[in-house]
Structure 1
Amino acid sequence: MNTIDIPTRDDVSPENQALFDKLKAGIGMVPNLYATFAHSEHALGNYLQLQNAKSSITGRAREVVNLVVSQVNDCAYCLAAHTVIGKMNGFSDEQILEIRAGTASFDPKFDALARLVKNIAVERGHADPALVDAFFAAGWTKANLVDTIMVIGDKIMTNYLHAITRVPVDFPAAPALRA
């Protein structure tokens, strides 16, 4: 059961109504989790600015971060959404499952990213120096490290919002990880 309702376009501020319209035009829907941000007059706009900000971590790399963090935080909503987005970015079902587990044996650079992100998320920011060194050795830069931390923060916000609100997942459920 939800702890908070999902606002409709009619329930939100004019600024959020415009954002709802933009989301609907761009992706065909207003995802329930995004709509939940609109309970605040400012949160949805602020979140979308963060999510759409310039970054050296884009596309497939961003999905590695999103999938790993969402798995660590056991966020059914974000795992479902990012499984769909991961497939749109060219990852196979098997690759997505492996990424969620914190590795990417199919790509050494993504493997270093996934391993570091899992460690950062599990250890709440206290990364193993050896994993940071491996990240750099795989070809990532200091800018990539800072931007990775930004993406981790982005995903933690949505993971926590879903954990607290339990809004219904409006994407196909992500498959369970195999033991």
Structure 2
Amino acid sequence: MTDAQLHTVATAPERSKPLLEAAHKAAGRVPNLHALMAESPALLEGYQTLHRLAVEATGFTATERTVVWQTVNVAHGCHYCVPAHTAIARAEGIDDAVTEALRDEEPLNEPRLDALRCFTLAVLHKRGQLSPGDMQAFLDAGYDNRAVMDVVAIVAQKLMSNYVNAIFGTPLDDALREFARGSGRRAA
């Protein structure tokens, strides 16, 4: 863990200032992750852009996005993103049973969602070197090549945040504390 500054709009590099202002407008506060990432405008802008595109431009539902986000977060044991995405899921009305199963690394009751969870794990653990069986199982669940690419985009977004949180030990925001508990069995 390395010490790093949690920036405010006043202390952030010039290019990060509007990004922090946008984060504040969206969340009612500047999340500590964004305050930390502000040190690198490239990282913060890339992260925020991928997050926005995950919501606006993928073919996934809110529940499907949560499956991909939390599968990666839990696999990395991210102390920050697991509670953050639990809070996001709650705000979006995602079934708590889905969130809890993901956090507990258990299969999901809905076969299509579980296929998405398994595929995300395959992409992550195999670093994209998927077997024909990995692809076929995902396609047989009703997904398509766009969904494959959307998973890759969301995994890339989560690598940014999970790695930064592991390297710098981002402090958990007060607003997220109620959602914190074990963040997965695997270490980052």
> Structure 1 length normalisation: TM-score?
0.88
2:180 corresponding residue in structure 1: 174
Q: In the aligned structure 2, how far is the partner of 1:14 from the partner of 1:30?
A: 16
User: How many correspondences in the alignment?
Assistant: 178
Q: Is the 2:67–2:117 contact (alpha carbons within 8 Å) kept by the matching residues of 1?
A: yes
Q: Find the partner of 1:85 among 88, 108, 113.
A: 88
Deviation digits for residues 26-66 of structure 1 (CA, Å, limit 9, x no counterpart): 21011111111110233212221222122223522111101
Q: In the aligned structure 1, how far is the partner of 2:124 from the partner of 2:17?
A: 34
> Aligned letter for 1:11?
T
Runs of 4+ in 1 over 6 A off after TM superposition: none
Q: In the aligned structure 2, how far is the partner of 1:58 from the partner of 1:169?
A: 27
Q: Any gaps of 5 or more consecutive residues in structure 2?
A: none
Question: Could you tell me how far 1:166 is from its partner in structure 2?
Answer: 0.5
- Taking a change above 3 Å as real, the CA distance of residues 161 and 36 of structure 1, as seen in their structure-2 partners, is same
2:30 corresponding residue in structure 1: 30
Q: In the aligned structure 2, how far is the partner of 1:162 from the partner of 1:177?
A: 13
User: Within the alignment, does 1:64 sit opposite 2:70 as a pair?
Assistant: no
- Taking a change above 3 Å as real, the CA distance of residues 89 and 177 of structure 1, as seen in their structure-2 partners, is same
2:147 corresponding residue in structure 1: 144
> Aligned letter for 1:32?
N
Q: Secondary structure at the match of 1:35?
A: helix
2:130 corresponding residue in structure 1: 127
Q: In the aligned structure 1, how far is the partner of 2:73 from the partner of 2:80?
A: 9
Q: Is the 1:65–1:151 contact (alpha carbons within 8 Å) kept by the matching residues of 2?
A: yes
Identity of aligned residues (%): 28
User: Within the alignment, does 1:14 sit opposite 2:7 as a pair?
Assistant: no
Q: Is the 1:97–1:177 contact (alpha carbons within 8 Å) kept by the matching residues of 2?
A: no
> Structure 2 length normalisation: TM-score?
0.84
Q: In the aligned structure 2, how far is the partner of 1:82 from the partner of 1:178?
A: 13
Q: In the aligned structure 2, how far is the partner of 1:113 from the partner of 1:142?
A: 13
Q: Greater shift after overlay, 44-53 or 119-128?
A: 119-128
Q: In the aligned structure 2, how far is the partner of 1:43 from the partner of 1:119?
A: 25
Question: Could you tell me how far 1:80 is from its partner in structure 2?
Answer: 0.8
Q: In the aligned structure 2, how far is the partner of 1:66 from the partner of 1:17?
A: 26
Q: In the aligned structure 1, how far is the partner of 2:111 from the partner of 2:92?
A: 18
> Aligned letter for 1:124?
R
Q: In the aligned structure 2, how far is the partner of 1:110 from the partner of 1:139?
A: 10
- Taking a change above 3 Å as real, the CA distance of residues 59 and 91 of structure 1, as seen in their structure-2 partners, is closer
Q: Secondary structure at the match of 1:76?
A: coil
Note the aligned Cα RMSD (angstroms).
2.1
Q: In the aligned structure 2, how far is the partner of 1:126 from the partner of 1:104?
A: 24
Q: Secondary structure at the match of 1:52?
A: helix
